[in-house]
Amino acid sequence: MERTYLMIKPDAVQRGLIGEIICRFEQKGFKLVAMKFIRLTKEMAEKHYGEHADKPFFAGLVEYITSGPVVAMAWEGKDVIAVSREMMGATNPSKAAPGTIRGTFAVDIGRNVIHGSDSPASAEKELAIYFEEADFVEWNRTV
Ligand code: CMP
């Protein structure tokens, strides 16, 4: 079954949106298989966002993502990578469709509420930054 890495960012944690965001993925039918409430170190942030290291917003991005706790999660389900990105909406919240997570809760690309892996390769890389194999739970599929 496909897995993705989703992260509720510090702005959403501060605004009390954790439950609302998790609720959407639960209601959709995806399964939460690992979760940590942590504050990223600078090293973790730079590893996660390494592909943006040469971008002008990189320093601000690292500062923001390490500014408070995040909810780091692994979710599992059919086409979860693509579908969760649809549910999140465009990276720039002012372009995100109404009803999507970013379209509902954000206006600023620098405070865009949630991160989700954009491909199977990114999901594998990102999940490995935050979790080890023992962190993933097995659901009882008969319930
Ligand atoms: P995310 O989906 O986590 O992936 C890369 C992040 O970089 C993105 O969300 C934004 O938080 C951030 N980002 C992308 N473009 C910009 C920008 N122009 N200014 C500030 N932050 C940006």
ipTM of the complex: 0.94
Q: How far is the CA of 10 from the centre of ligand 1 (A)?
A: 13
Count of domains for the chain = 1
Q: What is the 3-state secondary structure (H, E, C) of 84-136?
A: HHHHHCCCCHHHCCCCCHHHHHCCCHHHCCEEECCCHHHHHHHHHHHCCHHHC
85 is in an annotated binding site: yes
Tens digit of pLDDT for each residue in 55-98? 999 999 999 999 999 999 999 999 999 999 999 999 999 999 99
Nearest-CA residue for atom 12 of ligand 1: 110
Name the one residue in this structure whose structure tokens are 């405070």.
111
9 is in an annotated binding site: yes
Catalytic residue numbers read 115
Beta-ladder partners of 4: 75
Check which CATH number belongs to the domain holding 79 and give it: 3.30.70.141
* 86: containing domain: 3-133
Q: How far is the CA of 75 from the centre of ligand 1 (A)?
A: 21
The percent of residues above 70 in pLDDT, for the chain, comes to 98
Note whether residue 92 is domain-resident.
yes
Note whether residue 141 is domain-resident.
no
Report which residue type is found at 96: A
Note whether residue 139 is domain-resident.
no
Do 88 and 101 touch, CB atoms closer than 8 A? yes
Note whether residue 55 is domain-resident.
yes
Note whether residue 67 is domain-resident.
yes
